[in-house]
Amino acid sequence: MDLTVAERRLPPLFTPDFYRNPYPVYSALRRHDPVHWDEEHELWVLTRYTDVAAALVSPGLVRGAGELTMEADDPLRRVLSRMMLFSEPPRHTRLRSLANRAFTPRRVEGMRVRIQAIVDELFERIGGRRDVDLVADLAYPLPVIVISEMLSLPRVDIGLFKRWSDDVIAYSAGAIDMEERARTSVTALLSHLNEMVGRLRGHPDTIMSALVEAQSAGSQLDEEELLANAILLLMNGHETTTDTIGNGVLALLQNPDQLKKLQAHPELMMSATEEMMRYDGAVQLRGVRSAQELKIGGKEIASGQTVYMVIGAANRDAEQFAEPDRLDIERSPNRHLEFGQGIHFCLGAALARAESQIAIHSLLARCPGLELGSDRLEWKSVPVFRGLKSLPIHV
């Protein structure tokens, strides 16, 4: 087929229609031009499972803006460049090993009881109300409270920390008009966290104090790297989990046979949450930059070009998943790419899984007559994250 003709027929990316439902666009791209050069946004778009899976672990595709920003005289660039998410080896290896020491599976498993207690507290706040906004009442506060407690942030300041971290996420996800705000917010975060670090030494009972301990135990990390990665945990620790819970519950409500099955068999919760993440994931794509000329799917990628690895499209690829557009809570195997792959595999995957499983399990157990409250749903309009602004339900 003549590709230019096919390309002309491709629906556009990142329009209001796309944000409502990106999957038909992904499907058209995957079919007609799986390694697509998007003229308008000047970037490559990968939509096939095999290409995205390979790109996620390719050393030729890098996440950071390079070593130059390390010494920049600008708090925002300095902090971002010190985050493991935007680093490559050897720096990434150093940062990640510190975080691994604090973020152990045992510590996350130990959080389950606390997560359940927070969920119960949030349901108590809902009380006897029948009309609930699942996002505002449960999916949003839960991960924010959890990650704030893990980072030893005082509860009264949670709103403030959350607002500052939202500014930094928005900027790092591409909202360049947010630069000035993000810079002010990063400065505020640094000064509050810095003040906290002193108090935490010698009390290794939260993730944050474990990070501080690991840093003082001669891990060759400077204080700025410690603080930058604490901010990263705060940034990554909530929005994605909020969206996972919201998107997952909506998927169940729109697939009543699967909802009924899960209500009858709560023991399927683990595979059900994996399927919800595959079917309509919170992280839709990851942007990287080619560090050298390389070939993907027969196309030449020049050095320095931006490549979007579209995880949301890979997770619906029929070459990998039978009937990919069907929600099947018993799907097995289910090797979705929602948490990435390789050295950057999501550090918080176990925590995000625990929070989603407990929140959705509690919702179904407490609200057997759960129904969608409105068909008019509003989605966020950013390419990287997919999530609902609110999800009205009747309980």
Instruction: Answer yes or no whether residue 283 interacts with ligand HEM by CB under 6 A.
Output: yes
Instruction: Answer yes or no whether residue 84 interacts with ligand HEM by CB under 6 A.
Output: yes
Nearer to ligand HEM, 107 or 261 (CB): 107
**Quick check: helix, strand or coil at residue 85?**
helix
Could you tell me whether strands 61-62 and 131-133 are parallel, antiparallel, or unpaired per DSSP bridges?
Answer: unpaired
Instruction: Answer yes or no whether residue 241 interacts with ligand HEM by CB under 6 A.
Output: yes
Q: Could you tell me which residues are beta bridge partners of residue 288?
A: 307
Q: Are 61 and 290 in contact (CB under 8 A)?
A: yes
Pick the binder of ligand HEM from 58, 165, 215, 244 (CB under 6 A).
Answer: 244
Pick the binder of ligand HEM from 122, 147, 211, 313 (CB under 6 A).
Answer: 147
Nearer to ligand HEM, 75 or 348 (CB): 348
Instruction: Answer yes or no whether residue 344 interacts with ligand HEM by CB under 6 A.
Output: yes
Question: Which helix (DSSP H) or strand (DSSP E) does residue 195 occupy?
Answer: helix 179-200
Nearest-5° angle of CA 140, CA 245, CA 282? 95
- 169's tokens: 């996420």
Tokens 């157990």 sit on residue: 365
CB of 393 to ligand HEM, least distance (A): 20
Nearest to 288 by CA among 302, 303, 305: 305
Angstrom distance (rounded) from CA 232 to CA 173: 13
CB of 198 to ligand HEM, least distance (A): 23
Angstrom distance (rounded) from CA 216 to CA 203: 12
Instruction: Answer yes or no whether residue 346 interacts with ligand HEM by CB under 6 A.
Output: yes
Nearer to ligand HEM, 169 or 395 (CB): 169
CB of 135 to ligand HEM, least distance (A): 15
Q: Which stretch binds ligand HEM (CB under 6 A): 156-164, 258-266, 278-286, 316-324?
A: 278-286
Give residue number: closest CB to ligand HEM.
348
Instruction: Answer yes or no whether residue 94 interacts with ligand HEM by CB under 6 A.
Output: no
Nearer to ligand HEM, 236 or 362 (CB): 236
Residues of span 41-60 touching ligand HEM by CB under 6 A: 56
- According to DSSP, residue 302 is labeled P
Pick the binder of ligand HEM from 45, 144, 193, 233 (CB under 6 A).
Answer: 233
Q: Are 390 and 135 in contact (CB under 8 A)?
A: yes
Angstrom distance (rounded) from CA 299 to CA 55: 13
Burial of 332 (0-12, 13-18, 19+ CB in 10 A): exposed
Chain centroid to CA 19: how far?
Answer: 17
CB of 80 to ligand HEM, least distance (A): 12
Q: Which residues bind ligand HEM (CB under 6 A)?
A: 56, 63, 84-85, 96, 147, 232-233, 236-237, 240-241, 244, 281-283, 286, 338-340, 344, 346-348, 351-352
